[in-house]
Amino acid sequence: MNKILNMLRRNNPDLDILPVTDERFKYYGRVLGGRYEALSAALTATEIPAEGNQYRASVESLESVPVVADIRRIAFGEMETQAGFCNGHGYSLNALEYHKCSEINYTTTGLVLLLALPRDMEDGRLDSSSVVGFYLPPETLIEVFPGVLHFAPCRISEEGFNCLVVLEKGVNSPLDRVDTSAPGEEKLLWMRGKWLTCHPDSPQAQKGAFAGITGENLTLKI
Rounded CA-CA distance 86/47 in Å is 10
- For CA atoms 49, 89, 85, 1, the dihedral sign is positive
pTM of the model: 0.97
pLDDT given at position 33 = 87
Rounded CA-CA distance 138/162 in Å is 10
120-154 tens-digit pLDDT: 999 999 999 999 999 999 999 999 999 999 999 99
SS (H, E, C) 175-206: CCCCCCCCCHHHHHEEECCEEEEECCCCHHHH
20-79 tens-digit pLDDT: 999 999 999 999 988 899 999 999 999 999 999 999 999 999 999 999 999 999 999 999
Closest CA to 220 of 140, 96, 134: 134
Element (H, E) at 143: strand 141-144
190-220 tens-digit pLDDT: 999 999 999 999 999 999 999 999 999 999 9
Cβ atoms of 112 and 136 within 8 Å: the answer is yes
Closest CA to 89 of 160, 168, 6: 160
**Residue 182 pLDDT exceeds 80:** yes
Cβ atoms of 85 and 56 within 8 Å: the answer is yes
153-181 tens-digit pLDDT: 999 999 999 999 999 999 999 999 999 99
pLDDT given at position 35 = 87
**Residue 1 pLDDT exceeds 80:** no
Cβ atoms of 139 and 119 within 8 Å: the answer is no
Cβ atoms of 12 and 91 within 8 Å: the answer is no
pLDDT given at position 34 = 87
Domains and CATH numbers, the chain: 2-115+133-173 (2.60.120.10)
92-103 tens-digit pLDDT: 999 999 999 999
